[in-house]
Amino acid sequence: MLIDATPITAPDASAGEASLTASADSGTGRLRELGAWIAACQGVHPPQPLRRCRVVVFAGDHGVAQRGMSLLPAGYSVERAAEIESGAGPVNVLARATGASVRVVDVSLDHEAWGEERVARSTGAIDVEDAMDAEQYARAVEIGRRVADQEIDSGTDLLIPGDLGVGNTTVAAALLGAFTGTEPVAVVGPGAGTTDELWKIKVEAIRDAMFRVRGTTDEPEEVLRRIGSPDLVALTAFIARSAARRTPLLLDGAPVAVAAYLAERLSPGVRAWCQAGQLTPEPAHLIALQALELTPLVALDMNAGQGVGALAALPLVQAAAALQAD
């Protein structure tokens, strides 16, 4: 297995219990529990302030989107990635407001580019062909792990994985449906916008992708290779590696939650290092969070991806740490 299957060491329960005990009469509800989680992740009570929060957006396009299931125009993902890298867009606005910073990892956007973080130009259409070959899969895993190491080695104390790419909610829904046995109609959501006709196309693509991997879910990495995408594989490896290195994660939307679910399947114990920043209208998002037994901090119907919803919840995490330190 390329994504480390070694069980993840749990956060420090004694530090968490010490925080809960110290704040027993505070009346701060879930903020008290959230502060104890931060203390447990840091292994110390009271927890230290979160001084370097980092959004890492994994970007990639998806061949299945060419089926015409999205209202977004061709080139949308590439334009949004360039916008983020220029310091614009909602993710940068909220990052500046919360003292966080943003990084874009262009894994598989549909444009002519190459670099240490690139795997492919888009992917195969998962309803009729494999998303990537074995070499591309291995490269995506390596990129996700390497990016996690880079961020943690630079002093990041909380990571916010984000996603960007037309068709990524379709890929996430197909993967979740395949692993949980959920019917396609139950995992399909609006994505970045839809109509009745586009919804039907999306359901059919997810159904066909799930059919292609029927009976193989005992080989999760093979399923990921066939009906996933390089950006989602890198995201899964990133989350698993971050948890293995004892770094807390604040999750955003459906693709990120599904990646965390997959990371938990491959490396049991990942979920203890995660909090759900938000809940989106995507059915797959709720199903993934329920499987992870995570309760979202906010539910503002934000489906922008890119870590935006998690950033909206970041002040709550920062407040929770501050309350425990008081």
Q: What is the DSSP letter of 306?
A: T
Domains annotated for the chain, with CATH where assigned, are 9-48 (no CATH), 51-314 (3.40.50.10210)
Angstrom distance (rounded) from CA 290 to CA 261: 10
Other beta carbons within 10 Å of 87: 12
Per-residue model confidence as pLDDT tens digits over 144-194? 999 999 999 999 999 999 999 999 999 999 999 999 999 998 988 765 556
pLDDT of residue 135: 95
Give the Cα-Cα-Cα angle 11, 243, 133 (nearest 5 degrees): 160
**What does the pLDDT profile of the chain (326 residues) look like in tens digits?**
566 667 799 999 999 999 988 887 788 899 999 999 999 999 999 999 999 999 999 999 998 888 766 677 778 899 999 999 999 999 999 999 999 999 999 999 999 888 889 999 999 999 999 999 999 999 999 999 999 999 999 999 999 999 999 999 999 999 999 999 999 989 887 655 567 777 888 899 999 999 999 988 889 999 999 999 999 999 999 999 999 999 999 999 999 999 999 999 999 999 999 999 999 999 999 999 999 999 999 999 998 899 999 999 999 999 999 998 77
Are 294 and 273 in contact by the 8 Å Cβ rule? The answer is no
As a whole number, the mean pLDDT across the chain is 92
* The dihedral formed by the CA atoms of 85, 228, 124 and 242, expressed in degrees to the nearest 10: 40
Helices 196-212 + 220-227 axis angle, to 10: 140
Buried b / exposed e along 14-39 (16+ C-beta atoms within 10 A) = ebbebbbebbeeeeeeebbbbbbbbb
Q: Of 275, 268, 263, 171, which is closest to residue 226 (Cα–Cα)? A: 171
pLDDT of residue 320: 94
Per-residue model confidence as pLDDT tens digits over 198-216? 788 889 999 999 999 998 8
Are 34 and 275 in contact by the 8 Å Cβ rule? The answer is yes
pTM as predicted: 0.95
